[in-house]
Structure 1
Amino acid sequence: MSVWTDRILQEFPADLSRFWIALDPDGLLLDERILHGLRERGFEVLPFEDPVSFRTEYEERYRAAWDTGREGTAKALILQLRGTDLNSLPWDYIKSARTLNLSLADLFPKLSYGVVRKIDSEHHDALFQACKKHAAQPLGEGATKDFILTHIFRLSPYLLSRPEDFWREVLRLHYRGTGLPELLAQHVAAVLRDTPLNALPIDELLKSKAFMVRTVQDAWSRFIVRYGVETPSSEGKPAESNTPIVPFDHPDVRVIIDTMFLEGTLQPIEAHIQPDDLPDWIRVGLIDDPQALTHLVSEGAKRIATDLPSTGASHRDWVEAARRLAELLYRFNELKAADADGLQRQVQTLQKEADVRLKGWVFQHFADLPSLPVAKAPVMVHHVPRYLAMRRDSGEERIALLVFDGLALDQWVQIREDLSARSPEFSAEEGGCFAWLPTLTSISRQALFSGLKPREFQKSMATTAQEPSLWTKFWQENGLRKTEVIFQKGLKRSEQLEALEEALSKPTTKVAGLVVDMIDEIVHGAMLGKRGITGQIREWCDTGFIEKLFLMLSKHGYHIYLTADHGNVDAEGIGRLSQGVVSELKGERVRAYRSEDLASSVPPGIDAFQFGGPGLPTDFLPLYASGRGAFVPKGNKIVAHGGMALEELIVPFVKIKMKKE
């Protein structure tokens, strides 16, 4: 337990009260380490976001048990109010609860509150310890920014006098997954305003990993041409470009670039012609022989295997691990069959180890995810509508949510690379979020469009028929009229776009929910595993449907967000479950039962495990096939979903742009 976590937890002595009200304007309790620490002590945190929803959970899951002398689902409940107005709560809550105040202003009294509140919660622990050691007196706004840059991000803008110094720090920050908050990125840009570095888009490079990667990728294309390398697009001449020059040949820069190529963050470029005296360190970013990509996949798998998250990792660590694995799998699936066969065991071993670690993490931490804040990005798919509503409040008047049914992260990478090659206007701000468990369409996609947890739509958990009404209802509750919201599913072909455009182009349309289900259709008909799916996705991309859809949405002023309800994995049969109507909900990787007795009726020879998880009805008990097994005849190989493998559980969440920056 960290010093910071202990400081928060000490506010909640055990057995002092069953019901607490925490006035928490900065969302301190919605940090996964705090949530986990409280849960270990028997506390459950429930954000007060919707009065009706909170009242239902409070009465059914807590008060009813407490009134009869029982413990309920937790020893104590904390109502977390994102504000300081106690009088906004019902009187019976105030009367029966113990109230306390939590604020960054009180916990960091020597730092500027306006700056500290802009810093991600993942940095609070390090900042708290740094303040204890180094903050001797109160600091103003500028001094607080410098203090945080120095002690948290290990960066001093006053020392960045040369291009190699700046690029080293940019690459280091993003490689560690800690781009600067916008406030600090702007501060660094202001400090460097009167230096030669001012010509660079400093704040964008420091705060946006996607922008940095695009910039470095373009700069690499120009850089290798200077060494005499000819690529399909260069024709032996450096292209005219406004892309900044990156000092790739500096040792401090080179070592990070090398790793980015190996792990898939940067894509190597096909080299038609290269000089004999080309330095060896440049070759890692080139594909110059049939074995070059094979080597990249093998080395990338080794690096990822040594850096898999542990059970104590954060959800961000797992999203990053899923992204790195997706880049690797995309490259693996692009290999020729003979080359892939030689690497298959290494890749499968990596996948197995990742799944084992993820399962341990899920059992400890998945219950905390639904309560995490969504201001910066959704953590779970049911956070997506709320996040989009916040984007509308921030000025994004028209929003389109594209849900690619069944799209795994590695398949998104394939689509991204295809779009990057065919459309210079395309760019993407990439992230990821967690699907709901079990990772079935009727559960996770319905949560995605409704903004609700599964137990809040339990009557329709076996169908997707209620999605249009749930999507519309959410937006009506957030200030839109029914006529301003559209929903359409079954999209997959270019000839459907004309009718869709008619609805999207209406001035009254503000929000669109669109289901693109080609990937799910391909997956359920797959005969040759995920490598075979790669070829089918490539053929679909060649039709131009995705590019046309993005361009159409952009033309009509929509901010485009893309996600998925779940991913998919190669699975192998462990035995069919012939239970008739005993199973309430049937999937190839999961079955759900309405009682413990029914769930226990599974034959002992079937390798499976139970995990109820949060947000599900109390009488809904999922049983998962272990590893990458499936409830089909033994030895049968299929592509499926429903379980908690890394490629099923963590899905892309991407903002699409179709304008050149």
Structure 2
Amino acid sequence: MSAWTDRILQEFPADLSRFWIACDPDDLLLDERILHGLRERGFEVLPFEDSVAFRTEYEERYRAAWDRGEEGASKALVLQLRGNDLNVLPWDYVRMGRKVGLSLAELFPRLSYGVVRQIDTEHHEALFLAHNKHATQDLGEGATKDFILTHIFRISPYLISGPEDFWPEVLQLHYRGTELPPLLANHVSTVLKETPLGELPIAKLLSSKSYAVRTVQDAWGGFLLQYGIQSDGSSDDGPAGELREATVPFEHPDVRVIVDTMFFEGALQPIETKGSRADLPDWIKVGLADDPNAMANLVSEGVKRIATELPAIDSPHREWVELARGLGEVVSRFNNLKADMAGPMQQQVRELQLDADERLKDWLLQHFADLPSLPAAKGPVMVHHVPRYLALRRSAGEDRIALLVFDGLAMDQWPQIRQHLAGRVPGFTVDEGGCFAWLPTLTSVSRQALFSGLKPRDFHTSIETTAQEPALWSRFWQENGLGKHQIVYRKGLKRAEQLTELDEAVSKPATKVVGLVIDMVDEIVHGAMLGKRGIAGQIDAWCESGFVEKLVLLLAEHGYHIYLTADHGNVDAEGIGRLSQGVISELRGERVRTYRSEALAASVPADIDAFRFDSPGLPDDFLPLYAHIRGAFVPKGEQIVAHGGISVEEVIVPFVKMHLPRTTP
């Protein structure tokens, strides 16, 4: 355990109290490492966000058991209060609870609190060590910014004087999977204002990975012109157009090695060209789509790289999201290869998928319970965080919001949608991320959580149906200040002719939030006969119908900020044998069976390769049994595409914000 984690956990000695109140204005307890450490000690952390909801859970799952002399859901409960004002709590809590105060100001006394609070929680541990070792005196705001840039982000703006210094820093920063907080990015921009780099939007390049990647992607086309290679069908539109005259030094060794990796892992896309020379360096060929072997090489090299970077059992959830995105890009490319190229590497891809799935399963068994309580301010960690995050975005000025839920869209199928939109919608860009579906990854469980903002335990009466989704979506937004007439929900969307009726609803001036279920991918999956490679071709054909770009453009025209996600993904699976007992949550739940009693759940034949995982957040009488890794409860050897289980492609789904010229960034 780290010094940072130990410092927080020392505030919670075991056996002193069953009920704690933590005044935590900086959400220090909602760090997954801290949550996991507390849980290992028998403490459960429950944020105090709604008085009624908190009291219900506290009374039913903790206090009632304690009054009976039982342990209850955990040995001790920590009420996490985001602030210091105990007056907002019921008097009986304040009387009973043992109080603890936590603050970044106290933990980093030599640094400026206003700067430190802008740093993401993933950097707290490194900053704590650097502070204790190197901060020998009190530092003001400017000195604190320089301290954090040097010790955490490894950037010294005073040593940057030109493109050869700047672009390696930008690419290395984003390749490490991080972005500068706007406060620090603006500081770097101010320092570099009088240098030759001063005309660049430095702050945006450092604080937005999507913007930086789009800039490099566009600059790649300009770089190829030096070799007499012209891109085919490139657009001059889009937010990166302002940088077309800027030069990214692609031939610089520090830039070239990262750009090469970005092509392999899918962050950068090879471009179509109007012909190229045979004598090009191999590292340039990686970024060209007209080489018949280029895509196959990208898949093969991508598999090798990802296989060496799989997250460990103690990795943070962000590493799993990044793994899922990288693997999704590789699998998407593989599924779109011609059969003669895909065949030789099929085993290589499958071994990576199996290894990743096995590791994710082990990780989830230890860490899934930490995920529901993580903060959603910078992006949803789980699908039930999505409404809360969107409500925060509305508070930040995004007056009209549209949520597109592509039912069943796996991370490896999202690149097809993205590529299609990029080719059909000038200036289209995205901020890409991901979040975790609820387990089991069934529509009635995870999609209801997505639209309601609730854990499945909180909609236990409808957990086997999606009929309550419109009411749950409406209730969430009404609780967040909107009127019923300002809320739209539609499902079953898949065809362009349905957009006329939708236009009538979303164009009304009163409408503020729109929740849409696009179910074509799930429909394709449930009828799949040729596995996920066959599904890839069907998704491409559906995209060619024009529905997706017409939907996106319709929403953009009416001023909506557009977000896309999915309730779960899907996976190639093989039959391990049928089960005759148990109650299935939905018709095509071949990857999981759910039971209403322990007796039924325990009656599974010993020769069935399956396992139990009663994940926190489910109703007490909703007991899932999962087929192991890529197995399915269908006749042995039968090949299907399904969902419901625990695999990277089912559990981690896209969460994307779209940017179009007609929307406000």
CA distance in 2, matches of 1:73, 1:619: 15
**After the TM superposition, which residues 199-348 of structure 1 pair with which residues of structure 2 at under 5 Å, given as runs?**
199-233=199-233, 242-243=243-244, 244-348=246-350
Q: Determine if contact 1:585/1:591 at 8 Å carries over to the other structure.
A: no
Aligned residue pairs, count: 657
CA distance in 1, matches of 2:322, 2:71: 38
Alignment partner of 1:410: what SS?
A: coil
Change in 2 beyond 3 A, CA 1:479/1:331: same
Instruction: Give the residue type in structure 1 aligned to 2:21.
Output: I
Q: How big is the shift at 1:234?
A: 7.1
Instruction: Give the residue type in structure 1 aligned to 2:213.
Output: V
Q: How big is the shift at 1:418?
A: 1.4
**After the TM superposition, which residues 184-199 of structure 1 pair with which residues of structure 2 at under 5 Å, given as runs?**
184-199=184-199
Gap regions ≥5 residues in structure 1: none
Change in 2 beyond 3 A, CA 1:191/1:452: same
Q: How big is the shift at 1:582?
A: 5.2
Instruction: Give the residue type in structure 2 aligned to 1:135.
Output: A
Gap regions ≥5 residues in structure 2: none
Q: How big is the shift at 1:435?
A: 0.3
Change in 2 beyond 3 A, CA 1:8/1:66: same
Moved more, 198-207 or 239-248: 239-248
Q: Which residue of structure 1 lines up, in the alignment, with residue 392 of structure 2?
A: 390
Alpha-carbon displacement from aligned partner over 1:351-401 (angstroms, at most 9, x marks no partner) = 000001001100010000000001100000000001111111111111111
**After the TM superposition, which residues 167-178 of structure 1 pair with which residues of structure 2 at under 5 Å, given as runs?**
167-178=167-178
Which of residues 600, 607, 610 is equivalent to 2:609?
607
CA distance in 1, matches of 2:565, 2:583: 33
**After the TM superposition, which residues 546-565 of structure 1 pair with which residues of structure 2 at under 5 Å, given as runs?**
546-565=548-567
Alignment partner of 2:267: what SS?
A: coil
CA distance in 1, matches of 2:224, 2:6: 52
1:439 aligns with 2:441: yes
Q: Determine if contact 1:582/1:598 at 8 Å carries over to the other structure.
A: no
Instruction: Give the residue type in structure 1 aligned to 2:93.
Output: Y
* Percent identical: 71
Q: Which residue of structure 2 lines up, in the alignment, with residue 657 of structure 1?
A: 659
1:109 aligns with 2:141: no
Alignment partner of 1:400: what SS?
A: strand
CA distance in 1, matches of 2:584, 2:476: 31
Q: Determine if contact 1:22/1:79 at 8 Å carries over to the other structure.
A: yes
Q: Determine if contact 1:308/1:354 at 8 Å carries over to the other structure.
A: yes
Q: Determine if contact 1:595/1:621 at 8 Å carries over to the other structure.
A: yes
Alignment partner of 2:110: what SS?
A: coil
Q: Aligned-residue CA RMSD in angstroms?
A: 1.5
Q: Determine if contact 1:31/1:372 at 8 Å carries over to the other structure.
A: yes
1:94 aligns with 2:94: yes
Change in 2 beyond 3 A, CA 1:85/1:475: same
Q: Which residue of structure 1 lines up, in the alignment, with residue 354 of structure 2?
A: 352
Moved more, 241-250 or 601-610: 241-250
CA distance in 2, matches of 1:484, 1:289: 51
CA distance in 2, matches of 1:277, 1:630: 50
Q: Determine if contact 2:571/2:649 at 8 Å carries over to the other structure.
A: yes
Q: How big is the shift at 1:232?
A: 2.4
Q: How big is the shift at 1:253?
A: 0.7
Alignment partner of 2:489: what SS?
A: strand
CA distance in 1, matches of 2:539, 2:215: 27
Q: How big is the shift at 1:224?
A: 0.8
Change in 2 beyond 3 A, CA 1:460/1:268: same
Which of residues 597, 600, 603 is equivalent to 2:599?
597
Instruction: Give the residue type in structure 2 aligned to 1:245.
Output: T
Q: How big is the shift at 1:584?
A: 6.3
Q: Which residue of structure 2 lines up, in the alignment, with residue 476 of structure 1?
A: 478
Q: Determine if contact 2:444/2:586 at 8 Å carries over to the other structure.
A: no
Which of residues 392, 409, 430 is equivalent to 2:432?
430
Moved more, 439-448 or 601-610: 601-610
Q: Which residue of structure 1 lines up, in the alignment, with residue 570 of structure 2?
A: 568
Moved more, 8-17 or 585-594: 585-594
Q: How big is the shift at 1:279?
A: 2.5
CA distance in 1, matches of 2:412, 2:373: 27
Alignment partner of 1:261: what SS?
A: helix
1:377 aligns with 2:371: no
**After the TM superposition, which residues 24-173 of structure 1 pair with which residues of structure 2 at under 5 Å, given as runs?**
24-173=24-173
CA distance in 2, matches of 1:409, 1:185: 30
Q: How big is the shift at 1:476?
A: 0.6
Moved more, 251-260 or 438-447: 251-260
CA distance in 2, matches of 1:518, 1:527: 16
Instruction: Give the residue type in structure 1 aligned to 2:73.
Output: T
Alignment partner of 2:412: what SS?
A: helix
Alignment partner of 1:572: what SS?
A: strand
Alpha-carbon displacement from aligned partner over 1:58-116 (angstroms, at most 9, x marks no partner) = 11111011111111111100000011110110011111110011111111111111110
CA distance in 2, matches of 1:145, 1:206: 14
CA distance in 2, matches of 1:410, 1:313: 22
CA distance in 2, matches of 1:528, 1:438: 25
Q: Determine if contact 2:470/2:489 at 8 Å carries over to the other structure.
A: yes
Q: Determine if contact 1:585/1:592 at 8 Å carries over to the other structure.
A: no
Q: Which residue of structure 2 lines up, in the alignment, with residue 16 of structure 1?
A: 16
Q: Determine if contact 1:400/1:511 at 8 Å carries over to the other structure.
A: yes
Q: Which residue of structure 2 lines up, in the alignment, with residue 493 of structure 1?
A: 495
Alignment partner of 1:375: what SS?
A: coil
Alpha-carbon displacement from aligned partner over 1:466-514 (angstroms, at most 9, x marks no partner) = 0000000001100111111111001111111111011101011011111
Q: Which residue of structure 1 lines up, in the alignment, with residue 3 of structure 2?
A: 3
Q: Which residue of structure 1 lines up, in the alignment, with residue 621 of structure 2?
A: 619
Instruction: Give the residue type in structure 2 aligned to 1:210.
Output: S
Instruction: Give the residue type in structure 2 aligned to 1:222.
Output: G
Instruction: Give the residue type in structure 2 aligned to 1:167.
Output: W
Alignment partner of 1:142: what SS?
A: helix
CA distance in 1, matches of 2:437, 2:585: 21
Instruction: Give the residue type in structure 2 aligned to 1:337.
Output: A
Q: Determine if contact 1:490/1:517 at 8 Å carries over to the other structure.
A: yes
1:364 aligns with 2:332: no
Q: Determine if contact 2:357/2:647 at 8 Å carries over to the other structure.
A: yes
Q: How big is the shift at 1:231?
A: 3.5
Which of residues 463, 466, 485 is equivalent to 1:464?
466
After TM superposition, the runs of 4+ consecutive aligned structure 1 residues lying more than 3 A away are 239-242, 581-586
TM-score by length of 1: 0.98
Change in 2 beyond 3 A, CA 1:505/1:622: same
Instruction: Give the residue type in structure 2 aligned to 1:301.
Output: V
Alpha-carbon displacement from aligned partner over 1:263-292 (angstroms, at most 9, x marks no partner) = 111111234422343233212212343222
Change in 2 beyond 3 A, CA 1:66/1:287: same
1:510 aligns with 2:531: no
Q: Determine if contact 1:400/1:513 at 8 Å carries over to the other structure.
A: yes
Alignment partner of 2:198: what SS?
A: helix
CA distance in 2, matches of 1:326, 1:407: 11
Change in 2 beyond 3 A, CA 1:584/1:293: closer
Alpha-carbon displacement from aligned partner over 1:445-468 (angstroms, at most 9, x marks no partner) = 000000000000000000000000
Instruction: Give the residue type in structure 2 aligned to 1:111.
Output: L
Alpha-carbon displacement from aligned partner over 1:570-605 (angstroms, at most 9, x marks no partner) = 1111111122x6556661100111222111111222
